[in-house]
């Protein structure tokens, strides 16, 4: 949990604040001439809470954690450490995979809460300093259109993305072959496959909801 959550927090915060800033500029451009500037808060916050926060955080974890899981387990596989565990009657699934899976399911939603908060703050800073939207106007819009369903949906997506990233990292790590070169290939494969699966699952979950 420390590796997946706490150690990932600085990167999540940096990406989240610029994600919110870009979301504010994009929303202002889209709303120009179509809706009053008072809708900027809700336009950015709902996009962040339901989509940008969970997906971008999931991809960050896929790159940082999913790849590291594959590399760690792949190294254990090619150096026969996993074979040694099984020889002693220790299940590689219970001992190596399950803790990573549970930690990912728990920590990714928590990271998403941080990412959402920082991203909304970034959106507000851009709105306030560059688009002349006051604190009251921005956050009144956020509160007026905020729904708990959006928040819960984002958290659910985070659990799904976290669990899938850990499962793919473990699966690819356990199937690593070919020494150091195989470990490198497994690391790359884990990130690529996890990122693609996150985007596919994001579409599938939206389809099920709507």
- Residue written as tokens 């254990």? 76
CA-to-CA separations, 65 to 56, 74, 162, in angstroms, rounded: 14, 14, 10
State the Cα–Cα distance between residues 21 and 123, nearest whole angstrom.
5
* Residue boundaries of the structural domains of the chain: 6-201
pLDDT at 35 over 70: no
pLDDT at 34 over 90: no
Q: Report how far Cα 48 is from the mean position of its chain's Cα atoms.
A: 12
pLDDT band at 15 (very low <50, low <70, confident <90, very high): very high
Alpha-carbon Rg of the chain, whole angstroms?
20
The model's pLDDT over 49-97, given as tens digits with 9 standing for 90+, comes to: 999 999 999 999 999 999 999 999 999 999 999 999 999 999 999 999 9
Q: What is the pLDDT of residue 100?
A: 95
- Residue written as tokens 């499962």? 167
pLDDT at 106 over 70: yes
> Under a CB-based contact definition with an 8 Å cutoff, are residues 77 and 173 in contact?
yes
Could you please report the per-residue DSSP string of 167-187? HHHHHHHHT--SHHHHHHHHH
> Under a CB-based contact definition with an 8 Å cutoff, are residues 123 and 44 in contact?
yes
Task: Please give, one letter per residue, the 3-state secondary structure of 78-136.
Answer: HCCHHHHHHHCCCCHHHHHHHHHHHHHHHHHHHHHHHHHHHHHHHHHHHHHHHCCCCHH
Return the structure tokens found at 91: 């299940």
The model's pLDDT over 138-193, given as tens digits with 9 standing for 90+, comes to: 998 888 888 888 899 999 999 999 999 999 999 999 999 988 899 999 999 999 99
Return the structure tokens found at 42: 């809700």
Which letter does DSSP use for residue 6 in this model?
G
- Count Cβ atoms below 10 Å from residue 148 Cβ, excluding itself: 7
């Amino acid at each position: 949990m420390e590796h997946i959550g706490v150690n990932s927090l600085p990167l999540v915060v940096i990406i989240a604040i610029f994600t919110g800033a870009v979301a504010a500029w994009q929303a202002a451009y889209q709303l120009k001439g179509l809706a009053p500037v008072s809708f900027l808060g809700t336009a950015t916050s709902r996009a962040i809470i339901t989509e940008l926060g969970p997906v971008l955080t999931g991809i960050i974890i896929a790159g940082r954690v999913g790849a590291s899981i594959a590399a760690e387990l792949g190294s254990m596989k090619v150096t026969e450490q996993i074979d040694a565990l099984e020889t002693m009657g220790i299940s590689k699934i219970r001992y190596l995979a399950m803790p990573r899976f549970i930690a990912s399911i728990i920590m990714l939603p928590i990271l998403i809460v941080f990412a959402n908060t920082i991203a909304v703050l970034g959106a507000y800073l851009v709105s306030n300093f560059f688009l002349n939207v006051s604190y009251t106007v921005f956050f009144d819009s956020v509160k007026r259109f905020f729904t708990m369903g959006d928040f819960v949906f984002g958290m659910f997506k985070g659990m799904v993305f976290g669990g899938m990233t850990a499962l793919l990292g473990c699966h690819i790590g356990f199937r690593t072959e070919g020494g150091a070169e195989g470990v490198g290939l497994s690391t790359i494969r884990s990130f690529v496959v996890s990122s693609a699966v996150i985007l596919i699952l994001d579409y599938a979950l939206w389809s099920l909801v709507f």
